[in-house]
Structure 1
């Protein structure tokens, strides 16, 4: 039963409430049908074939390392607010996903047509790629590119491609991805509520780089 529902039995059997058991069972069946449908549909099959590319495009380590490099290379006070707040958001997402996966311990799907495994992470709920892509897209759309509406479709298309490819590649169940999207939206809203000011961000960058930056709280 644990394998059918995607539950981790490595630490002993876990008693699953009947309602949750039924939900997980339906999730497994719907995911299987969706993957089978995707294999018969050209554009969905293309997403599956490029799953590794979409995986890298939203990988936590790639984004964290890339964003730190972005901060280091582009030392521009106009970018400090976005750079610092997004860095905090990325760290927040990584921590939240790690804690939730460790708590839930839902095993990844057993692939019908196994592709190359991506990474050592064996837990699937919630989808970190779904939460991260959703969070990043909505932060950029609402906080930085809010006046550039023509950029919204590409952002949303990227989020959709990342989320669908994770299911089609049989790395996640549909429920994992839906939970990830919901979590990403909540993280974006949380960051909007605590959004650090330009001067605070300049001060943080100054403390990290050990330099005095115009406009920062530590500038003298």
Structure 2
């Protein structure tokens, strides 16, 4: 049996303060703008729109079906970013092991895994912030579309607190991590040739495996 983790009193105080502030914030929003239940469908839509599984699967499919080199380059880099994000969030959650808010209903969470019972950082926040920065930065998007993406990222982050999925500091931490991920990925951005080479490597491996099976 491993020893029970001892949380330093200073950190425990911060976490307790965060839980109290989060609860007060949700109650204030609920009182100010009406029952949050009437916005639940919209917030659940935001949750689905930034879930890691559809993003990973969708990006992987498009990589192999889109032949344009520049589009494929972008998709390969985004896919790498999504993988990096999943790894970072999983590792940090496993280390911190902070529980989700008491009011959270885990059975409502779509395609959750064991590590998702932990709350810090918010994976939706890291992913939403990373994507809302990378898309405008790498695609040189029209300004209004960039603003829409930033608003989507912010709305996803806010919904994590309002749905009781995360405490406030979970989202703040996720936002910081998402920004750092976007900066790191921009620095390490693969060229069209490197991205295509990576795709060719996996295609060749897949083809070799298929020939071997035959």
Q: TM-score range by the shorter chain?
A: 0.7 to 0.9
Q: Matched residues in 2 for 1:154 and 1:54: separation? A: 13
Query: Greater share of helix residues, 1 or 2?
Result: 2
Which one of the candidate residues 98, 103, 111 is aligned to 1:106? 98
* Deviation for aligned residue 1:116: 5.4
Please, which moves more after superposition, 186-195 or 71-80?
71-80
Residue 34, structure 1, aligned to residue 29, structure 2:
no
Q: Matched residues in 1 for 2:32 and 2:24: separation? A: 12
Residue 16, structure 1, aligned to residue 16, structure 2:
no
TM-score by length of structure 2 reads 0.86
Residue 163, structure 1, aligned to residue 154, structure 2:
no
Q: Matched residues in 1 for 2:68 and 2:202: separation? A: 14
Q: State the superposition RMSD in angstroms.
A: 2.2
Which one of the candidate residues 143, 148, 151 is aligned to 1:154? 148
Gaps of 5+ in 1: 1-10, 212-220
Q: Matched residues in 1 for 2:16 and 2:39: separation? A: 25
Alignment of 1:12-161 (within 5 A): 13-42=4-33, 45=36, 47-111=39-103, 117-118=108-109, 119-120=112-113, 121-144=116-139, 146-161=140-155
CA contact (8 A) 1:47 1:168 kept: no
Q: How many residues align?
A: 200
CA contact (8 A) 1:127 1:176 kept: yes
* Deviation for aligned residue 1:115: 8.3
Q: Matched residues in 2 for 1:73 and 1:43: separation? A: 45
Superposed structure 1 runs of 4+ greater than 4 Å apart? none
Q: Matched residues in 2 for 1:201 and 1:177: separation? A: 32
Q: Can you list the C-alpha shifts for 1:103-134, whole angstroms capped at 9, x where unaligned? A: 1110110118x585203421110000000010
Residue 201, structure 1, aligned to residue 192, structure 2:
no
Q: Can you list the C-alpha shifts for 1:53-103, whole angstroms capped at 9, x where unaligned? A: 111111111110011111122221121220111111000000110111111
Q: Can you list the C-alpha shifts for 1:12-32, whole angstroms capped at 9, x where unaligned? A: 642222221121111001100
* Deviation for aligned residue 1:160: 1.2
Q: Matched residues in 1 for 2:34 and 2:155: separation? A: 10
Q: Secondary structure at the match of 1:172?
A: coil
